[in-house]
Amino acid sequence: MLLKLIPRSVCLKLLAAGLCFSSLSVQASAERVISLSPHLTELAYAAGMGDKLIAASDYSDYPQQAKKLERVASWQGLNLERILALKPDLVLSWRGGNPQKSLDQMTHLGLNIFYSDPNSIQSIADNLIKLAEYSPHPEQAHAAAADILAKRQALKDQYARPGKPPVNVFLQFSTQPLFSTSGTTIQSEVVSLCGGHNIFADSPVPWPQVSREQVLTRKPQAIIISGDEAQVKIVKTFWHGQLDVPVITVPENWFNRSGPRIMLAAEVICQKLSQISSTS
């Protein structure tokens, strides 16, 4: 009887300690879930909700089983008619990429909308904790959140040492036009975590368009891109004769999605920035 009297919010906090399972089992998890963003699809699987996903957005390709889900969203918008026909009891949405008008329509029609716009490692963990309330396996969501935060602390302890000069980094996300990112994004946070300094951290806009001259004036010691060796050749050709620094590559889906795999990107960046720091 005592477990039934424990508030749900308190019970969720006790879950990591292996307590409160009886209370949590009383709460019904979401049975029909739709994800409208690749990062949310990854978060749903990490939170133990994979078996409840019935549809997702284009490019929801991780983990492998996500590729089999029906597609109901793309860069062109949402297939609202199909979403309604599938009768989800939870829709995972992203304000940064989903049209707000369509989300408002779904809310007006009575659908339960979960919003996820993480812009930090902490907010990814927070999203997982919130998803635990809808998951049939909330312990997986809590474990995934704890794992992300533990990895963040381990990397911080190893690489972001006080008194150690930071490596000046240019985060390059395209060449024509030339885009970077400010200090308010998760990508910039990863650079700082690894002992680097984003040379456009002071930008007043999150994704600034910059010029060659602005980059050269700030004297980066490394360039970070999302992609593979093919992109490295493009970047080196772009900067030929003007900037000759190491180009660090990170798989695009690790670095550009606000999901658990951001920590894999962080591990790669930390290792490579450490090598640059030791030789400079």
Q: What is the pLDDT of residues 48-82, one digit of tens each?
A: 999 999 999 999 999 999 999 999 999 899 999 99
Half-sphere exposure of 242 (CA within 13 A, CB side): 14
* Amino acid (one-letter) located at 214: Q
27 confidence band (pLDDT: 50, 70, 90) = low
Per-residue model confidence (pLDDT) at position 176: 87
Give 128 or 15, the one with higher predicted confidence: 128
> Rounded to an integer, what is the distance from CA 276 to the centroid of its chain?
26
Q: Region 20-40: what's the mean pLDDT? A: 75
Which structure tokens are listed for 147? 């794992």
- Is residue 59 part of an annotated ligand binding site? yes
Percent with pLDDT over 90 in the chain: 82
Q: Region 87-115: what's the mean pLDDT? A: 95
Per-residue model confidence (pLDDT) at position 278: 79
Q: Region 246-252: what's the mean pLDDT? A: 96
Per-residue model confidence (pLDDT) at position 24: 40
Per-residue model confidence (pLDDT) at position 7: 42
Q: Region 256-260: what's the mean pLDDT? A: 95
* 215 pLDDT more than 90: yes
Q: How many residues does the chain have?
A: 280
* 182 pLDDT more than 90: yes
Answer for the pair 56, 35: CB distance below 8 angstroms, yes or no: yes
* 260 pLDDT more than 50: yes
Q: At a CB cut-off of 8 Å and minimum separation 6, what does 16 contact? A: 139, 142, 143, 146
Secondary-structure percent of the chain, ordered helix, strand, coil, rounded to 5? 45, 15, 40
d(CA 260, CA 280): 32
The CA-atom distances, in angstroms, between 221 and each of 241, 244, 246 are: 15, 9, 7
Which structure tokens are listed for 175? 């060449």
Q: Region 196-223: what's the mean pLDDT? A: 97
State the chain's maximal CA–CA distance in angstroms. Answer: 74
Give 216 or 22, the one with higher predicted confidence: 216
Q: At a CB cut-off of 8 Å and minimum separation 6, what does 9 contact? A: none
Which structure tokens are listed for 51? 């078996």
What is the DSSP annotation of 95-151?
A: TTTS-HHHHHHHHHTT--EEE----SHHHHHHHHHHHTTT-S-HHHHHHHHHHHHHH
Per-residue model confidence (pLDDT) at position 5: 34
Answer for the pair 194, 188: CB distance below 8 angstroms, yes or no: no
d(CA 175, CA 221): 18
Q: Name which of 8-17, 222-231, 246-255 the model is least confident about.
A: 8-17
* 165 pLDDT more than 80: yes
* 18 pLDDT more than 70: no
* Amino acid (one-letter) located at 228: D
Which structure tokens are listed for 185? 């994004």
26 confidence band (pLDDT: 50, 70, 90) = very low
* 14 pLDDT more than 90: no
Q: Region 1-8: what's the mean pLDDT? A: 35
144 confidence band (pLDDT: 50, 70, 90) = very high
> Hey, what domains does the chain have and what are their CATH numbers?
2-146 (3.40.50.1980), 163-279 (3.40.50.1980)
In whole numbers, what is the pLDDT of the chain averaged over residues?
Answer: 90
The residues pairing with 5 across neighbouring beta strands, listed in sequence order, are none
The CA-atom distances, in angstroms, between 256 and each of 30, 107, 205, 270 are: 28, 28, 18, 16
